[in-house]
Structure 1
């Protein structure tokens, strides 16, 4: 295993996606003990602390261990905390056997020398959609298998739009969306809510607008990117979006939309179950690009990865666990439970057959872009942090959209040296 340099470790821990701010349950590392106990216990980390031992997810993980003839010791922790602990555990030679990580983190862990190539383990990824597996591919090699994918769209409240005289099918671009928001405001309701918080969630939600204007992550301050930030700034300044988008997570933004007072809420596939419980009729449309058509939205979702182990004999059993977790039957079950879109067309077809509401999301996922794609890899976390910083600065009135993005681009350039 390639050792993780202290410089690299410090750099990665300093970036927004991996800087831990919350202490969560500690990771287990590789199995402790000796002899048979060690050989029969495999460790598994995931970013789902909300699922306890009695959840369907935890039971699936345990059953995949049983089928492989071992006991799986599962530890769920916050996404950010998991990234930090993964880097530290690898440096100490104590990485878990299997690890489920947010897709932008894959390239960071690859650069640190932590993950095995799926091809080296004999794991088949040929059925995975190219844009989905691309988020976990570095220099042409995949380093994990996606458990599922999600992306963003606009939920809308049918009652609010009807009362304001807005036809959602007429919303094709930024101009028609802004016109709709103004009609809603004039009718006494609220426009749109989203998350512009100073974390990866803020960048994730800004990207469809940034990309929808033709923005380039390697040139944050070009005119296209500035147009996207000016759009958001204009909405907040004109009262079409609330000031609290600056502190909204995607969860709190959804809670605002669920009050029934907002026309639109930018959110993801994972809110479908909550949408059905909202108490009002809703619909879903693609996030429009500046001049028409659907904007590319970022691909969300996690990858099942296999960290490098000192004892390579463990890989045979690890492969069985991974293969079980990513089988078509289990992907269908898992992705339905997590409100993910499956990463293969065969399972997507089964999902849509069972729930027609997933059809627009399958289409959206097929058009989505990986945040680390285009060769960005480990450059993305640095770019993203400066992007969300610029969004915060512009929406709070600290700087103009152009000045905020100029500062962001300068900071990225200085960091990259």
Structure 2
């Protein structure tokens, strides 16, 4: 019991270091879940406070409960609040029956001992794309079913690129992208905007360049990592990217791109609706790797999980609710609403058929990696924070990319 209590306390700190990167609102409903009897009321937590009970998502959750023969009491809050309250509820023995959590949080909750394995619940994860499922796997075991994935790519402004005679299809590596930015700046226009702020968003946006150089998160100061940070520093120093990337969130980054002044903007699937409202023609290309190809990008999105309960007889209904939320028909409906790429090839194909704009995003998700994958698990927050600190130090001119990442590696080593 003492070890489990220690794990819960450690997990609270880890969750506090992570920020949701999905297209979720920031409001929170802080009401605690009811403790319904088996067969009566089941509690469900999600990080979607922007969707009320009359929304398609709210109605789906209620319907999945009705189909399972129970009433679902849904509580919504932002993702950090949800993770911390989940740990507290587990400590008090009243965890929700079903919980939707941001994928990097899964490993933290598993370490705290409060999530069930999907195999023990009899949930089928075989159709799930392996790299998407990997964000919720620890030591080869899966602890949730992904409801969808989002990730990053480069939006581009067709008018700006056309004015400088750059074919977006020619942007295949860092050299060709930098050459395009040079042309844009020479013509008196703006190059690229992204988020390099001192939160998880900064790490999330840096990872495609870090991984695209061949970087490994266990060795932040490798030559590959230094090359990625040097690229960003070069862009800021040359005026290809604005200095305010140091403060930009993904939202303010989008607002900059939406002015129509920038050639490129690094952002996510969740901005597609806003892109249609921007008032100019745009396109989407994969973030290029250093020497070509699509760079691996981090996976965003949530997993439907079943927390540990004192009464194991409740799991049968919980399984029915999870299965309902993640069946193909409901995934298609939900992922279109959330602007997620579905976690299965079958539903992805249906999404692209109904909305061809999703084609480059399906390719991007296919190249994506879970931030906690590769055995990192709960070590990821202790790596991510030094990494975003290094990005800040280098882009602000406080340290060279090499010195900044050397300091980050030392800090990450102490954290582990």
Q: By the TM > 0.5 criterion, same fold?
A: yes
Q: Is 1:84 the counterpart of 2:84 in the alignment?
A: yes
Q: Is 1:362 the counterpart of 2:366 in the alignment?
A: no
Aligned CA distance change for structure 1 residues 244 and 178 (closer, same or farther; 3 Å): same
Q: Is 1:332 the counterpart of 2:332 in the alignment?
A: yes
Residue pair 1:135, 1:372 contacting (<8 A) in 2 also: yes
Residue pair 2:212, 2:289 contacting (<8 A) in 1 also: yes
Q: CA deviation at 1:319?
A: 0.9
Find the counterpart in structure 1 of residue 10 from structure 2. Answer: 11
Find the counterpart in structure 1 of residue 110 from structure 2. Answer: 110
Q: CA deviation at 1:358?
A: 1.2
Distance 1:396 1:4 in 2: 42
5-14 vs 57-66, greater mean Cα deviation: 5-14
Aligned CA distance change for structure 1 residues 298 and 67 (closer, same or farther; 3 Å): same
351-360 vs 326-335, greater mean Cα deviation: 351-360
Runs of 5+ consecutive residues of structure 1 not aligned to the other structure:
none
Q: Deviations over 1:197-232 (max 9, x none)?
A: 211111111000000111110000111101101111
Find the counterpart in structure 1 of residue 23 from structure 2. Answer: none
Residue pair 2:226, 2:402 contacting (<8 A) in 1 also: yes
Distance 2:202 2:238 in 1: 20
Residue pair 2:147, 2:303 contacting (<8 A) in 1 also: yes
Which residue of 23, 30, 50 corresponds with 1:26?
Answer: 30
Distance 2:256 2:138 in 1: 38
Q: Deviations over 1:249-292 (max 9, x none)?
A: 11111111111111101011111111111110011111011111
Matches within 5 A, 1:282-293: 282-293=282-293
Q: Is 1:247 the counterpart of 2:247 in the alignment?
A: yes
115-124 vs 65-74, greater mean Cα deviation: 65-74
Residue pair 1:17, 1:199 contacting (<8 A) in 2 also: no
Find the counterpart in structure 2 of residue 278 from structure 1. Answer: 278
Q: CA deviation at 1:28?
A: 2.3
Q: CA deviation at 1:6?
A: 4.6
Distance 2:267 2:45 in 1: 26
Find the counterpart in structure 1 of residue 52 from structure 2. Answer: 52
Distance 1:293 1:203 in 2: 21
Matches within 5 A, 1:149-188: 149-188=149-188
20-29 vs 153-162, greater mean Cα deviation: 20-29
Distance 1:91 1:46 in 2: 19
Residue pair 1:28, 1:43 contacting (<8 A) in 2 also: no
Distance 2:27 2:362 in 1: 35
Aligned CA distance change for structure 1 residues 143 and 23 (closer, same or farther; 3 Å): same
Find the counterpart in structure 2 of residue 299 from structure 1. Answer: 299
50-59 vs 284-293, greater mean Cα deviation: 50-59
Distance 2:60 2:190 in 1: 42
Q: Deviations over 1:35-57 (max 9, x none)?
A: x6x75111111111221222111
Runs of 5+ consecutive residues of structure 2 not aligned to the other structure:
21-25
Find the counterpart in structure 1 of residue 412 from structure 2. Answer: 412
Distance 1:3 1:45 in 2: 27
Q: CA deviation at 1:19?
A: 6.4
Q: CA deviation at 1:132?
A: 0.9
Find the counterpart in structure 2 of residue 261 from structure 1. Answer: 261
329-338 vs 4-13, greater mean Cα deviation: 4-13
Aligned CA distance change for structure 1 residues 173 and 99 (closer, same or farther; 3 Å): same
Q: CA deviation at 1:15?
A: 3.5
Match of 2:74, SS?
A: strand
Aligned CA distance change for structure 1 residues 224 and 344 (closer, same or farther; 3 Å): same
Q: Deviations over 1:111-141 (max 9, x none)?
A: 1101000111111111111111111111111
Distance 1:73 1:18 in 2: 28
Residue pair 2:27, 2:49 contacting (<8 A) in 1 also: no
